[in-house]
């Protein structure tokens, strides 16, 4: 009896914890709705393309809001701007297009993530159709498991807009894609949408290779064998003579960035970060490079001093400065941003002042210590004056929003004023000297025997 009492108590604690989580998630959505409602209307603080615009907060019938609201929400929640905008979009849609579901979230009958999935699935529906789906689902919240709700939701969307269902099916057939995501542990994940006939042919080819591997004594599980078979198909020349493609493709070009600390030089170890045309592979042990790059052409880039502060007397940014900045800051320097610097704007922290009649432009404005990569919307919000930026040291970016909240971004880490003491304990950014030779990054102190 005592054991059953303890078990019952544990169950009650579990229910209480789940209720607390649901309440917190619901409060979070309500707080985002409050941010949308109270966000100041865009004002023409500046003219031109940087000026903030009023945009749709969500889908049809979800109202409008200033386009930089997601920058504020993301900075407060530690989210990138696209992720924060997705949250704003879902909240606006739920409140306006799914009022019954919105109430169910507030009543803790449905989890916030489930409600957002519904809003996203109905995003292309008209406001009237979305409310019809919302009404049809009213009775299932809190009474049916999510997989059953998801299946019913798919059917309701088809019934609500048959033309949309046909367009989606056509798009699915037309929009083939292949995505390769590198995990940073010498493996990668492939996701693809291809023609079904081609998929069947690929499967048959893999099965032929797997059958041969089994005849030769392979005992790994079938998924592992199929993965190995795909590797053989993708490898121009496999050392054991396994089947390969009929025509060897041109070898891809890879840029290699190797980070070597002083202790690594003494032990003979090190970590490399490989960037190929498909994206960042991630950290790789130096002794794994031969295997990883055995079928790549290698390009060695010129030597760069990442601790230097080269400057030019022009607004345009030379390639050598751009490359150095991208190596130092591989992502946007806006708080919590995930935008990659290779595709970002390079912003002058102190705005560039052009020459005027009788007043030449100050020299050296375009320099590493006055530049930082920003995604386009982040750049526009800063240019519009809605966010203030200071770079007290090269690579240290201090941001302040209109309400006076502050963030510091350095080497991809975002901290707030209360966290800055921890940064000081770990060491200042300028305490290291980085050199790049052939994109080999070396940390100081550095001793190389000749």
Residue 257 placed within a domain: no
Domain termination residue (choose one: 160, 188, 209) = 160
Residue 70 placed within a domain: yes
Contact criterion met (CB below 8 Å) for 106 and 27 = no
End-to-end CA, the chain: 77
CA distance 143 to 123: 24
Within 10 A of 183 (CB to CB), how many other CB atoms are there?
10
Residue 224 placed within a domain: yes
Looking at residue 300, its pLDDT comes to: 57
Percent of the chain surpassing pLDDT 70: 75
Looking at residue 328, its pLDDT comes to: 85
Model confidence band, residue 381 (pLDDT cutoffs 50, 70, 90): very high
Contact criterion met (CB below 8 Å) for 163 and 169 = no
Residue 302 placed within a domain: no
Residue 66's φ and ψ, nearest 5 degrees, are: -65, 140
Looking at residue 235, its pLDDT comes to: 74
> Where is average pLDDT lowest: 63-77, 222-236, 291-305?
291-305
| Same structural domain, 19 and 139 | yes
Model confidence band, residue 416 (pLDDT cutoffs 50, 70, 90): confident
| Same structural domain, 127 and 188 | no
Q: What is the mean pLDDT of residues 315-339?
A: 88
**In the predicted structure, residue 449 carries a pLDDT above the cut 90:** no
Model confidence band, residue 253 (pLDDT cutoffs 50, 70, 90): low
| Same structural domain, 98 and 215 | no
Model confidence band, residue 417 (pLDDT cutoffs 50, 70, 90): confident
| Same structural domain, 25 and 144 | yes
Domain termination residue (choose one: 112, 133, 160) = 160
Percent of the chain surpassing pLDDT 90: 41
Task: State the residue range of the domain holding 328.
Answer: 308-431
**In the predicted structure, residue 134 carries a pLDDT above the cut 80:** yes
> Distance of CA 297 to CAs 158, 250, 430, Å?
50, 10, 34
| Same structural domain, 81 and 151 | yes
| Same structural domain, 25 and 156 | yes
Residue, of 106 and 197, whose pLDDT is higher: 106
Q: What is the DSSP string of 116-171?
A: HHHHHHTTTS-HHHHHHHHHHTGGGTTTS-HHHHHHHHHHHHHHH-HHHHHHHHHH
**In the predicted structure, residue 119 carries a pLDDT above the cut 50:** yes
Contact criterion met (CB below 8 Å) for 276 and 254 = yes
Looking at residue 429, its pLDDT comes to: 37
Model confidence band, residue 262 (pLDDT cutoffs 50, 70, 90): very low
Residue 383 placed within a domain: yes
| Same structural domain, 195 and 313 | no
Split into its structural domains, the chain has a count of: 3
Q: Residue 278: which region, alpha, beta or left (left: phi > 0; alpha: psi -120 to 50)?
A: alpha
Residue 71 placed within a domain: yes
| Same structural domain, 100 and 197 | no
Looking at residue 49, its pLDDT comes to: 82
Model confidence band, residue 173 (pLDDT cutoffs 50, 70, 90): confident
| Same structural domain, 367 and 394 | yes
Could you report the per-residue pLDDT of 83-111, keeping only the tens digit for each? 999 999 999 999 999 999 999 999 999 99
Residue 40 placed within a domain: yes
| Same structural domain, 203 and 141 | no
Give the highest mean pLDDT range of 5-9, 204-208, 258-262, 397-401: 397-401
Looking at residue 422, its pLDDT comes to: 43
Read off the pTM: 0.70
Domain termination residue (choose one: 234, 249, 277) = 234
| Same structural domain, 156 and 16 | yes
Model confidence band, residue 265 (pLDDT cutoffs 50, 70, 90): very low
Q: Which of 373, 380, 368, 378 is nearest to 434 (CA)?
A: 368
Residue 406 placed within a domain: yes
445: preceding bond cis by omega (within 30 degrees): yes
Looking at residue 357, its pLDDT comes to: 85
Residue, of 284 and 153, whose pLDDT is higher: 153
| Same structural domain, 50 and 147 | yes
Looking at residue 92, its pLDDT comes to: 97
Q: Which of 243, 249, 239 is nearest to 205 (CA)?
A: 243
Looking at residue 135, its pLDDT comes to: 95
> Distance of CA 228 to CAs 13, 185, 200, 217, Å?
46, 17, 18, 14
Model confidence band, residue 447 (pLDDT cutoffs 50, 70, 90): very low
Model confidence band, residue 294 (pLDDT cutoffs 50, 70, 90): low
Output the furthest CA–CA distance in the chain (Å, rounded).
93
């Amino acid at each position: 009896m005592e054991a059953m009492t303890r078990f019952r108590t544990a169950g009650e604690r579990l229910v209480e914890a789940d209720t607390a989580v649901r309440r917190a998630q619901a409060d979070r959505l309500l707080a985002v709705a409050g941010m949308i409602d109270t966000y100041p209307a865009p004002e023409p603080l500046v003219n031109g393309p940087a000026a903030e615009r009023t945009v749709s907060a969500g889908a049809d019938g979800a109202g409008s809001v200033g386009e930089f609201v997601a920058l504020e929400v993301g900075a407060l929640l530690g989210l990138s701007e696209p992720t924060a905008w997705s949250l704003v979009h879902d909240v606006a849609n739920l409140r306006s297009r799914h009022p019954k579901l919105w109430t169910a979230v507030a009543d803790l009958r449905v989890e916030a993530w489930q409600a957002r999935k519904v809003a996203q699935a109905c995003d292309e529906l008209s406001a009237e159709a979305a409310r019809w789906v919302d009404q049809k689902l009213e009775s299932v919240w809190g009474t049916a498991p999510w997989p059953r709700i998801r299946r019913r939701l798919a059917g309701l969307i088809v019934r609500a807009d048959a033309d949309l269902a046909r367009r989606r099916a056509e798009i699915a057939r037309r929009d083939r894609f292949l995505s390769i995501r590198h995990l940073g542990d010498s493996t990668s994940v492939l996701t693809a949408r291809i023609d079904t006939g081609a998929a069947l042919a690929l499967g048959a080819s893999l099965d032929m290779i797997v059958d041969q591997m089994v005849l030769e004594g392979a005992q790994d599980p079938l998924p592992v064998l199929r993965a190995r078979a795909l590797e053989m198909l993708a490898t121009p020349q496999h050392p054991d003579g396994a089947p390969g493609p009929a025509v060897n493709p041109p070898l891809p070009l890879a840029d290699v960035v190797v980070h070597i600390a002083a202790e690594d030089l003494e032990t003979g170890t090190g970590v490399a970060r490989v960037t190929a045309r498909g994206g960042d592979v991630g950290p790789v042990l130096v002794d794994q490079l031969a295997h990883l790059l055995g079928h790549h052409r290698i390009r060695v880039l010129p030597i760069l001093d990442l601790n230097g502060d080269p400057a030019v007397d022009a607004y345009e940014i030379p390639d050598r400065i751009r490359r150095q900045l991208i190596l130092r800051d591989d992502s946007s320097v806006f708080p919590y941003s995930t935008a990659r610097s290779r595709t970002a704007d390079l912003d002058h922290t102190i705005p560039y002042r052009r020459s005027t009649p009788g007043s030449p432009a100050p020299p050296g404005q375009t320099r590493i210590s006055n530049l930082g990569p920003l995604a386009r919307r982040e750049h526009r919000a800063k240019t519009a004056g809605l966010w203030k930026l200071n770079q007290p040291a090269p690579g240290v970016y201090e941001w302040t929003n209109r309400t006076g909240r502050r963030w510091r971004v350095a080497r991809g880490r975002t901290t707030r004023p209360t966290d800055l003491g921890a940064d000081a304990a770990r060491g200042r950014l300028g305490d290291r000297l980085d050199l790049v030779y052939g994109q080999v990054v070396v940390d100081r102190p550095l001793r190389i025997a000749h």
